[in-house]
Structure 1
């Protein structure tokens, strides 16, 4: 039976008299009564994670058999940035108490933090096997599913969670993100609105709601909301995007300039200000592209394929087949992303190498097991530094991020074997030159001009075919596929 003094503290804790409970727990500890575990729980409630570490870490060194202490210490260590130690204590807890759902939850969270997402999903599943419908485990399982790009499954889980716990703000916010990832914008607005009702004064929640309005096509309402928010660089950038959607170019420039005063080195701000002012950069914008796709990697395939009806890789593969380009053995996939292009071309005896600026994209491409080699590098630097030759070089939806293609064409020509082919897609400009519409921030090229540049670089036999690159705001984006051959 517990000491009466400890029982009194526990009663205060249960009644939410946290100050009195904490004082009592500390008096118990001073008197030699073991109150470390309930005190750590109280401190975790208040987000005092460093204090939990100081309290429990020395005790867990000697009390290696206490699963509950290991669980609480794991949580605190993870929150203070010591995830390797958090993972070690969570594993210890799951081994000591494999029938305790909280141990599997702690383990899954530490694994999720370390990037072992599949392992984390397994841990959450183990916990749910012991406690079906457990809200925290379901919520965290949905986070793992989202990290694995399994957004539809995550949505189903989160819809159950908000049904059972309609006041759980984090679940509504995660549901908004998952719906956005699949382009389910009206539904995302519904969940963002529910989150805002729960936390009307939370600036992050208010920004997410304004972005949901913009995605759902309510541009005017989004602008009004964004203009009322306490602005930081992210808010100014979203306001600029909303004003561009509203064709207010001057207002967008003003918003980007405000953002730049707070974050002058931000590659996104520099890129879109250049777009607004009509300045095409001479060099490839490596920082912009890398950050764009590092941020985009977790939802890249679901967004393009599911939400934007992106089918360029398949269309390029079919175009190559119709053009008789089917025997290439050595293939280079430029801007390979997560491997959508290689998946269309993989064949026995064919070696495919991939190149991308984004390490996070390459991680997903590597998991497909299609590529012989993957390289993280800037396109021109890689081509000019390589001595390898390929039979086929591809660039699917890559040149929307590159302004000047003449040096790229020359470098690709040098790396092709004699008789080899180069195929790529572009978004088409509505004039005779390259354009950078600020509404999208993607380069549109003039196919007639590109054909002349290909010929000047030494290519021949240029073939072209119209292409619908993707759907945006319900409208097709016009482009072309272009194929050229390196002659003798």
Structure 2
């Protein structure tokens, strides 16, 4: 039974009379009445995370057997930026109180914050074994599934959640995100509309709804909605993208200028402003590529393969075999990403090395277990800095981020064994030797111009094959596979 004074404070707290409740809790503490747990809950409710840490760290250090205090401390540590400490406290708590579902939830959230989605998923599932159907645990489990690119499973979990809790805003928003990752744009729009009905004045919800309209092909309506959200820097970026889709180049440029004024260091904005300005830089900024694919890593394969019908990993091995270039034992996978192509080429006796700018993409590639070595590096710097040689160098969907390929071709030639092969894909230009499309921020190349550059670098026996690289905005992206041999 709680102390009568503490009971009075709890009643104030339940009545949402938070100022009076806090004063009462603090008076209890001053008089030796233990009010640490409810006071920490009130402070968490108000987002005063540093105060919770100051309140609870000494208590947990001396009363480590109080799981509820430790759970609140872990939450506050995570939200105040001390995630390593949050994870440590949560792990200690699950070890001491393995039957406490909230402790597993705290551990899962801290693991997810650190990027360890597998550990997070395990923690949430442990919590759900103890408390089946607990809504917060199910919601957080769906987040871990999305981080692991298991979007179809996440959709199933979230659909069950919104069926049982139709007013759960975060579940509707996450459902729209997962459906978008699967290319289910009409379903995502319906989920975003439901979220809008629940929170019509929320700026983030409104932005998500506008983006869902854009993905669903309602470009003009999306533009109208985005023009009403101009206080949000990200709304300017999406407005620029929507105007590009509507072929309004000047309007897109103006939107990017507004975005740049609010965030001048954003590599995405800088890159697309260069594309709209008609510039042709040597290559896409490394910061842009790294951020693009670090952010994209978890959903890369499901988006490209499932939603956009990315074909290079399937077609490249056949292309090599058709031209007698499939007998290589030492392979270098440039821009290896998550390892889709490496996995397609893996065979007994083969050694495959990979290079990519994105550490998060490399983590997914490493998990496939097909690479001997993986290097986080810019491709030209890597090629010029290594003494190793390979029988085959591949670059699938890489040169869309490089304008001038002659230096790259020369560096690859120097790292191939005599008679070695070089295979790569391109998006095809419909005119100039090189185009930088403002709609996509990617380069397109003329195959005829590249054949000349390959010859100048010392390659011969060039083979070409046309293909559809992927679908984009419902339309096929025309490309080619090219194969050349070191002479």
SS at match of 1:444: strand
CA positional deviation for 1:356: 0.7
Say whether the 8 Å CA contact 2:230–2:236 is kept in structure 1.
Answer: no
Query: Which residue pairs with 1:236 in the alignment?
Result: 236
C-alpha displacement of 1:474: 2.0
Contact 1:434 1:446 in 2 (8 A): yes
For 1:285 and 1:83, locate their aligned partners in 2 and report how far apart those are by CA, in whole Å: 30
Deviation at 1:475, TM superposition (A): 1.7
For residues 73 and 264 of structure 1, what CA distance do their matches in structure 2 show?
Answer: 37
How far is 1:261 from its partner?
2.2
Structure 2 counterpart of 1:35: 35
Cα distance in 2 between the residues matched to 1:424 and 1:90: 47
Change (3 A) 1:74 1:265: closer
- TM-score by length of structure 2 reads 0.97
- Kept after mapping to 1: 8 A contact 2:317/2:326: no
Tell me, yes or no, if the aligned pair for 2:400 and 2:427 is still in contact at 8 Å.
yes
Provide the rounded CA distance (Å) in 2 between the counterparts of 1:94 and 1:208. 36
CA shift digits 1:199-234 (9 cap, x unpaired):
222222211111111111000011001111133432
Q: 1:476 is paired with a residue of what secondary structure?
A: strand
Q: What is the alpha-carbon distance in structure 2 between the residues aligned to residue 26 and residue 276 of structure 1?
A: 59
Does the CA contact (< 8 Å) of 1:432 and 1:448 recur in 2? no
Cα deviation digits, residues 108-155 of structure 1 (max 9, x gap): 111212222211111111111111110000011111111111111111
Cα displacement string for residues 332-381 of structure 1 (whole angstroms, at most 9, x for unaligned residues): 00000000000010011111010111111111111111111111111111
Aligned residue in 2 for 1:456: 456
Q: Secondary structure at the match of 1:435?
A: strand
Q: Shift in Å at residue 165 of structure 1?
A: 1.8
Q: Corresponding residue for 1:222?
A: 222
C-alpha separation in 1, matches of 2:164 and 2:46? 25
Q: Distance in 2 between matches of 1:202 and 1:169?
A: 11
Alignment of 1:102-141 (within 5 A): 102-141=102-141
Q: Is the 8 A contact 2:283 2:401 kept in 1?
A: no
Structure 1-normalised TM-score?
Answer: 0.97
- Cα distance in 2, alignment partners of residues 7 and 260 from structure 1: 54
CA distance in 1, matches of 2:284, 2:132: 51
The answer to whether the Cα contact below 8 Å between 1:468 and 1:478 also exists between their aligned partners in 2 is: yes
| Structure 2 runs not aligned, ≥5 long | none
Q: In the aligned structure 1, how far is the partner of 2:213 from the partner of 2:466?
A: 33
Number of residue pairs matched by the alignment: 487
Tell me, yes or no, if the aligned pair for 1:203 and 1:230 is still in contact at 8 Å.
no
Moved more, 140-149 or 31-40: 31-40
Q: Distance in 2 between matches of 1:287 and 1:69?
A: 41
For the pair 1:351 / 2:338, whether they are aligned, the reply is no
2:378, 2:25 → 1: CA distance? 58
Distance in structure 2 (CA, Å) of the matches to 1:359 and 1:264: 24
**Aligned equivalent of 1:414:** 414
Match of 1:83 in 2: 83
What do residues 132-184 of structure 1 show as CA deviations (whole Å, max 9, x unaligned)? 11000001111111111111111111111122222222212211211111111
How many Å separate the matches in 2 of 1:23 and 1:267? 47
Q: What residue number does 2:321 align with? A: 321
- Secondary structure in 1 aligned to 2:306? helix
> Is 1:378 aligned to residue 388 of structure 2?
no
SS at match of 1:309: coil
2:197 match: 197
What is the alpha-carbon distance in structure 2 between the residues aligned to residue 7 and residue 336 of structure 1?
Answer: 61
Moved more, 255-264 or 381-390: 255-264
Relative to structure 2, which stretch is displaced further, 409-418 or 50-59? 50-59
Whether the 8 Å CA contact 1:99–1:130 is kept in 2: the answer is yes
Q: Which has the higher mean CA deviation after the structures are superposed, 465-474 or 4-13? A: 4-13
2:102 is paired with a residue whose SS is helix
Whether the aligned pair in 2 keeps the contact of 1:285 and 1:402 (CA below 8 Å) is no
3-state SS, counterpart of residue 352 of structure 1? strand
* Secondary structure of 1:178 counterpart: helix
1:479 CA displacement: 0.8
d(CA) in 2 for partners of 1:412 and 1:347? 23
Cα 1:263–1:11, aligned 2, differ >3 Å: closer, same or farther? Answer: closer
The alpha-carbon deviation at position 14 of structure 1 amounts to 2.6
Alignment RMSD: 1.4
Number of the residue aligned with 2:331: 331
Summarize the alignment of residues 233-312 of structure 1 with structure 2, pairs less than 5 Å apart: 233-312=233-312
2:55 paired with 1:58: no
More divergent stretch after superposition (373-382 vs 279-288): 279-288
Check the 8 A contact 1:432/1:449 in 2, yes or no: no
CA distance in 2, matches of 1:455, 1:322: 21
SS at match of 2:443: coil
